[in-house]
Chains A and B, each alone.
Chain A
Amino acid sequence: MPTLHMVNKSPFEDNALQSCLGHVLKGDAVLLIEDGVYGALAGSAVAGMLGQQNGAVSLYALGPDLAARGLSEKPLLGGVDVIDYGGFVDLVTTLDRSQSWL
């Protein structure tokens, strides 16, 4: 019964990502959208938080939001898959429920 967790806030201004990662269960997916995509950058001060998931959850970042912020070419954390809007829809329809960490 996996859950899709969505985070739309930068982890540098808000604890939404931290709180989300404290409540994910094995098999869940975490999708970073809007300012949440800043959390996907490699080498940042919060990179360790996502890195700790160690494959227990699937990590995604929304490509159009990366592109809008000039981050398309920036290295992302290992294990983060960049998806488009179609992939977003696939996640919403495939997993059992969605939870937004506003």
Chain B
Amino acid sequence: MVMDEGPLEGSVTKRFLYVNRRAPYGTIYALESLEVVLIGAAFEQEVTLAFLDDGVFQLTKGQDTGAIGVKNFSPAYRALGDYDVTNFYVEAESLGERGLTLDDLQQITYEDEDDDWKEKPSIRVVSRRELAAIMAEQDVILSF
């Protein structure tokens, strides 16, 4: 299959929200979410990621899985900008409940093609109320 620039002919673009509510290594949810995010991006959908509850642990910096024998997939989040996945919404209340701040998360950036390829942060910390409003703007919500 030849992938052209721009949406595939006759295709429909929808707003997809991926809701991440689980910590990364205890279950397979987080990794599966990442895989499906890439599928959504490959099909040139409007992809948004939400991290709430234990899902905020997916983005912590300094993850080192060497001694537990599973792949550390946290660097993959930093590559999502290259697939036009640039909207990471992290819920403030979930961070606070877990004693975390934005500084505990890895830096994820993208290059804004509409602004001279300036490097910009992909992560935005939002309130629970703001996140509820973001959820209500979506066409499709996928939960992990």
Residues of chain A having any CB pair with chain B under 8 Å? 1, 3, 15-16, 19, 22-25, 97-102
With A15-B53, A19-B52, A19-B53 as known contacts, state yes or no: A101 contacts B132, CB within 8 Å.
Answer: no
* A residues near B144, Cβ cutoff 8 Å: 102
Check B132 against A24 for contact (C-beta < 8 Å).
yes
Is B64 close to A, CB under 8 A? no
B79 CB → nearest A CB, Å: 25
30 CB contacts below 8 A, A to B, read: A1-B136, A1-B137, A3-B135, A3-B136, A3-B141, A15-B53, A16-B21, A19-B53, A22-B128, A22-B132, A23-B128, A23-B132, A23-B135, A25-B132, A25-B133, A97-B138, A97-B139, A97-B140, A97-B141, A98-B141, A99-B135, A99-B143, A100-B141, A100-B143, A101-B21, A101-B143, A102-B21, A102-B29, A102-B143, A102-B144
Bound form: Cα–Cα A100–B140 in Å: 11
Is B34 close to A, CB under 8 A? no
* B residues near A25, Cβ cutoff 8 Å: 132-133, 136
Size band of the interface chain B makes with A? 10 to 19
Bound form: Cα–Cα A101–B143 in Å: 7
* B interface SS class: mixed
Number of A-B contacts (CB under 8 A): 38
Closest chain A residue to B50, Cβ basis: A23
* A residues near B93, Cβ cutoff 8 Å: 22
Check A99 against B19 for contact (C-beta < 8 Å).
yes
Among B138, B139, B144, which residue has the most Cβ atoms of chain A within 10 A? Answer: B138
A12 CB → nearest B CB, Å: 17
A88 CB → nearest B CB, Å: 17
* A residues near B143, Cβ cutoff 8 Å: 99-102
* B residues near A22, Cβ cutoff 8 Å: 93, 128, 132
* A residues near B105, Cβ cutoff 8 Å: none
* A residues near B135, Cβ cutoff 8 Å: 3, 23, 99
